[in-house]
A and B are shown apart, each in its own frame.
Chain A
C-alpha cells in the first residue's frame, strides 16, 4: 500500500524558516518524481514544487521561487521542503503527492499544517 506521511509543520513567525518532510512507503521511491502541493484554509489547491526521481530536474511555483527548496533523500525514502522567508500567505496545509504521466497525482499524503503568524 502506497503511503505518504508528512511532518514538520507548525506555527512560525513571518520571516522565519521551517522544513517539511514526507516519508514514502509502499513503492520504489527512487523511481518517481515527487511534488509539494498546498491548500490555504478554505481555499483551493496550489502546486508548489516538483523534483525528479534523481533530483536532476526541479521546478517551483513563482510564488515560492527563491524562498523554498525541494530536495529528496532516496536512501531514506524521504522528500523535503525547506521554506525560508515565510509570509502569512504561505499559511496552508502542505501535501506531498506522487505524479504520474501525463501529469496527474495518484497518491497524496494526509497533509501537514503550516501557520505563519506573529
Chain B
C-alpha cells in the first residue's frame, strides 16, 4: 500500500498570502488528486490528475509534482479557502489518502 504523507498537518495563512501544501508518496505514483473538505461537509474533488482544476475551483489554486512529491498551491489566500485538504493516489490498489492538511485563516 502506498502511504501518503501530507505536510504541514495544520497551518494558518493571512488573506492574500501564498500557501503551499505538500504530499509525499512512499512510492512513485502517476498522478495525485486533491480534495477540499470544509467543516461538516463531504469532501469535494478539487484538483485531479495532479494539475487539473475541478469544476468551479478558482484559478488561484494550482497543483504540480511528479513521482513521489506533489503540491497544491494557493496563489493568494482567501477566507473561503479555509478547509482541510487531502491528497489521494489511485495509481496503485488500494487507493489511499494522505492524513490531511488543515488550513486556517490567520
Chain B contact residues, majority secondary structure: loop
Contact size range, A: 20 to 34
Contact size range, B: 20 to 34
B8-38 to A contact mask, C-beta < 8 Å, 1/0: 0000000000000000000000110101000
Which residues of A have CB within 8 Å of B70? none
Query: Which residues of A (61-103) have their CB < 8 Å from a CB of B?
Result: 61, 95, 99-100, 102-103
7 A-B contacts, Cβ less than 8 Å apart?
A44-B86, A47-B95, A102-B49, A102-B91, A103-B95, A104-B31, A105-B33
- What 9 pairs across the A-B complex have the smallest Cβ distances? A103-B90, A104-B33, A45-B97, A108-B42, A47-B95, A44-B99, A104-B48, A44-B100, A106-B45
Interface set of A (CB-CB < 8 Å, partner B)? 35, 44-47, 59, 61, 95, 99-100, 102-111
